Structure 1
Amino acid sequence: MERWFEFMGNHPFLFGLLAVLIVMFFIFEGKRNGRKISPQSLGVLVKIKNAMLIDLRDAKDFREGHISGSRNIPYSQIANHLDELKTSERPIVFICNLGQVAGTALAQVAHTDSYRLDGGIANWKAQGLPLIKAK
């Protein structure tokens, strides 16, 4: 640790550059994955704007537990539904396990009013929110 402080004192420009790069990384990563919506705000969006929920997980995971009202379109099949999703007049919320796949799908579909569930199903479960199991 002592050497780290010595490095910072001897090379303030490099240390400042490192700090700027780290901040820029987090800013660009946040923007790259599209707009996030929290689990709490999701219910409001569905009730007020009748948002369409698209679950991108495979059918097995979807059957084991999904958000009420969501539709299962596995990410591997999203290309088959691009036209339908792009022309939707309703807001779209993409859902996956952790939120990363949803960010990629959001960029692929390029719908003007679309979101990804922040933290995905894992965050939904962690908040103690209910999931529906298919019969």
Structure 2
Amino acid sequence: MWPSLSGNGGSDAVNTNEAVRLINREKAVVIDVCEPAEFAGGHIGGARNLPLAQVSEGGKALPANKALPLVVVCASGARARRAAAELRKLGHAQVHVLGGGMNGWRDAGLPVEKSA
């Protein structure tokens, strides 16, 4: 469906199947850059919420090991692409944007968690 959009190996868009593979086989960390209210309304299980405005600050939501793959997600993908650029500047080696964002995740019938 969504082939990698760039060949630079840094911030490739991935489809839901590839995202699941990265999460399950490569221990990718899911970084959800939605606002807290959006995140509470539904997110990928195990995702860490780091709103776009806070990405450049880094923080506890980001893994200390910058070699771990990151899957960045938002509602549709636009904010995730901006966040991916910031994460690369922070030194994260493998940053992937979930093509279609949470909308694509839901459309694929994948599980969504809601915060209490």
Q: How does 1:5-84 map to 2 (within 5 A)?
A: 30-31=5-6, 34-81=11-58
Partners of 2:46 and 2:111 in 1: how far apart? 12
Could you give the per-residue CA deviations for residues 53-79 of structure 1, whole angstroms, max 9, x where no partner exists? Answer: 000000001011100010000001111
Structure number with greater CO (CA < 8 Å, separation at least 6) is 2
Amino acid of the structure 2 residue aligned with 1:94:
V
Partners of 2:112 and 2:97 in 1: how far apart? 17
> Which residue, 58, 78, 99 being the options, matches 1:100?
78
Give the structure with the higher percent helix.
1
Flag structure 2 segments of 5+ consecutive residues without an equivalent.
none
> Which residue, 83, 87, 92 being the options, matches 1:109?
87
Shift of 1:87: 5.2
Could you give the per-residue CA deviations for residues 91-132 of structure 1, whole angstroms, max 9, x where no partner exists? Answer: 011101111111111112212211000110011111121100
Partners of 2:46 and 2:113 in 1: how far apart? 9
Partners of 2:14 and 2:64 in 1: how far apart? 19
Equivalent residues, number: 105
Flag structure 1 segments of 5+ consecutive residues without an equivalent.
1-29
Aligned Cα root-mean-square deviation (Å): 2.1
**Percent identity for Structure 1 against Structure 2:** 28
Partners of 2:65 and 2:27 in 1: how far apart? 15
Shift of 1:46: 1.0
TM-score (norm: length of structure 2): 0.81
Structure 1 segments of 4+ aligned residues over 3 angstroms from their partners: 84-87
TM-score (norm: length of structure 1): 0.70
| Residue range with higher mean Cα deviation, 50-59 or 100-109 | 100-109
Aligned to 1:132, what secondary structure does the other structure show? coil
